[in-house]
Amino acid sequence: MTADYLYIAAFAIALLAALFTTPLLLRLAQRVGMYDVTDDRRMHEEPKPRIGGVAVFFGFAFALFVVLGFALSNARAFLPVHDQLAAAHNLIGLLFGSMLILCVGLWDDIMGLRPKYKLLAQITVALISMAYGFHIDYVHRPLSHDPNDFIYFPWWISYPLTLVWYTGMINAINFIDGLDGLLSGFTAISSIFLFAIAFTKDPIVALVVIALAGGALGFLPFNFAPARIILGDSGSHFIGYVFATVSIIGTSKTAIAVGLIAPLIVLALPIVDTAAAIFRRARSGKRISEGDLGHFHHQLVFRFGLNARQAVLLIYAICILLGAAALYLS
């Protein structure tokens, strides 16, 4: 099985697995009462099941496990033999970390977690991932055409930078999950552009993000406005973790020409929105973890008068433009 077929298979399997798993989760949530609360910050008027992230994770993980054997041992060389051990290490580590962070989010969805304990759990998962070898030791120098032109970091910069990258990305993705269909569509669009960037340069990153795109698209029909089920913290934490990890894996390859810059551009919307939220809350004397209605998607609805669908479609368009810019730079 050639690389192209592996990518197609991963995408299709993840999409179908999420598509068929989501109705089962809907029934489970309705049976046991796993619903999101409604309050002044929520954009939906009725409680909705909030464990949809499990469906995206299942589609993603199932697809990767199905194609993993072919990807690492096929004679038609998805990867050179000397790269297969490192590839297996990265995939297993990413799946393990994804499962851990999914459990953190799922616990919060079902039982509730105070913000400081949630942050502590995020840091713990990040530290486990760093112990597994996922840390930012160096990046390719932006805009340099020399494939061996790197910026190296000492450990006292590398480790804190990696920790901030993990916790920042997880919470940035969590912050934008505020409208029906927003995060699942954003995930699909961003993953497709990251796949296009990594397609000829880093097969493992390409395989991971195309599986994530499939899982998100399989979930989207149930999540687009008016949503029947939402991702919850399980979904946003898992998606944020995957984006953070593939960016780190990508920087370890000389082929990803702009290091962390391409993922930063593709994921610019949640990153900028999170930075603005931190500044806004600090200036007003609020806790950083205290929610508000000042996020970009809220402003589109409350300040500019768009309905939820219009706001989501506009953000999709912005994500496509950012993804195209990242693809051009890469």
Closest CA to 298 of 288, 279, 312: 312
| 279-314: pLDDT as tens digits | 666 676 676 656 655 556 557 665 656 777 888 888
pTM across the whole model: 0.87
Mean pLDDT of 99-120: 93
- Based on the structure, what is the number of domains in the chain? 1
Rounded distance between C-alpha atoms, residue 188 and residue 194, angstroms: 10
Give percent of the chain above pLDDT 70.
Answer: 75
Say if residue 217's pLDDT is above 90.
yes
Give 88's pLDDT tier (boundaries 50, 70, 90): confident
Closest CA to 51 of 11, 24, 14, 85: 24
What is the model's pLDDT at position 256?
A: 37
Q: Which residues of 49-68 are buried (b: 16+ CB within 10 A; e: fewer)?
A: bbbbbbbbbbbbbbbbebbb
What is the model's pLDDT at position 175?
A: 79
Give 211's pLDDT tier (boundaries 50, 70, 90): very high
As a whole number, the mean pLDDT across the chain is 82
- What is the domain range of residue 183? 3-329
Say if residue 262's pLDDT is above 90.
no
CA contacts within 13 A on the Cβ side of 238 = 34
SS (H, E, C) 142-169: CCCCCCCCEEECCHHHHHHHHHHHHHHH
315 versus 128: the higher-pLDDT residue is 128
**Furthest-apart CA pair in the chain: how many Å?**
60
What is the model's pLDDT at position 191?
A: 93
| 139-183: pLDDT as tens digits | 767 666 776 777 888 999 999 999 999 998 898 888 787 778 889
DSSP state of 35: B
What is the model's pLDDT at position 41?
A: 52
Mean pLDDT of 127-131: 96
